Amino acid sequence: MFKECLENLRNQTPLIHCMTNYVTVNDVANALLAIGGSPIMSDDEGEVEEITSICNGLDLNIGTLNQRTIASMLKAGKKASSLGHPVLLDPVGAGASTLRTKTAVSILENVKVSVIRGNVSELKALALGSTTTQGVDASSLDAVTDDNLEKMIKIFKDYAKKTKAIIAVTGAIDVVTDGEKCFVIRNGVKEMSRITGTGCMLSGIMPAFLYANLDHPLEACAAAVCAMGLAGEIGKSHLRDYEGNASLRTHIIDALMVMSSEELEKGAKYEIY
């Protein structure tokens, strides 16, 4: 299944309009190129509708939002909705500021979002109105664990039904659900949390997986999550003892490129609930 998802992506080279933060934007572009897609970054109100029209999907990441880009994101999001393009929302820091929470909610109200991808704190902030977010990283109080797994699955299945979007919550254990079916994914390594941008990269490649697998959106999103996690595992395996997070970042993007679809199929670690 995941094998075909990746092959479909690579056969189609989806062009993804990325409206993403300036911290990790370069990694997002290289991750998209690595996995087999193609990125275009554009955030001026005067062109975002035209740009998104020639693309195959849209990534809305509010990591360094501002008044200008919020307006542009809404405009692009509405256009992409009207064209039936897959739209991803990455609500970076939702719960950490009123502006971020409000912007995420406003996008959800105005745009047909296909998938919301974030960490546990961000998704809980949106789903439950909880406010434990610590900056842009998940609060240590929040985590999907084997102990609370069933409860977490319920929360995010409910939120998927409410939003009619796929919910992809990433952390040590990832949860990807469309409200009915739920993938619980255990790929990845803990060192990924010491690199900025692994979440943003995943948000960049996910619309490419979605576009290339429109008839299996949930599996497409789960495949993207497994691919990112597996890239982390492969990347870590190449680390020398004197290497740290900067080298791991490089190895991870490399792994997205070198990874075969068979490796993804074989390396994916998940259960279905």
The residue among 189, 255, 261, 263 whose CA lies nearest residue 31 is 255
Interface with a second copy, residue 30, by CB under 8 A: yes
Residues 109, 204: Cα–Cα separation, whole Å:
22
Interface with a second copy, residue 12, by CB under 8 A: no
Which one of 3, 4, 10, 33 is in contact with a second copy (CB under 8 A)? 33
The residue among 120, 110, 180 whose CA lies nearest residue 148 is 120
Least distance from C-beta 252 to a second copy, angstroms? 8
Interface with a second copy, residue 197, by CB under 8 A: yes
Interface with a second copy, residue 238, by CB under 8 A: yes
Q: Enumerate residues 79-108 that contact a second copy by CB under 8 A.
A: 93, 96-100
Residues 5, 224: Cα–Cα separation, whole Å:
9
Q: What is the DSSP letter of 194?
A: G
Q: Compare residues 180 and 242 and give the one whose CB is closer to a second copy.
A: 242
Interface with a second copy, residue 73, by CB under 8 A: no
Interface with a second copy, residue 46, by CB under 8 A: yes
Quickly list DSSP for 207-271.
HHHHHHTTT-HHHHHHHHHHHHHHHHHHHHHT--TT--HHHHHHHHHHHHHH--HHHHHHH--EE
90 backbone dihedrals φ, ψ, rounded to 5°: -110, 100
Which one of 11, 67, 180, 272 is in contact with a second copy (CB under 8 A)? 67
The residues of the shown chain that bind a second copy, judged by CB under 8 A, are 15, 21-27, 29-30, 33-34, 38-47, 50-51, 54-55, 63-68, 93, 96-100, 134-137, 194-197, 234, 238, 241-247, 249-258
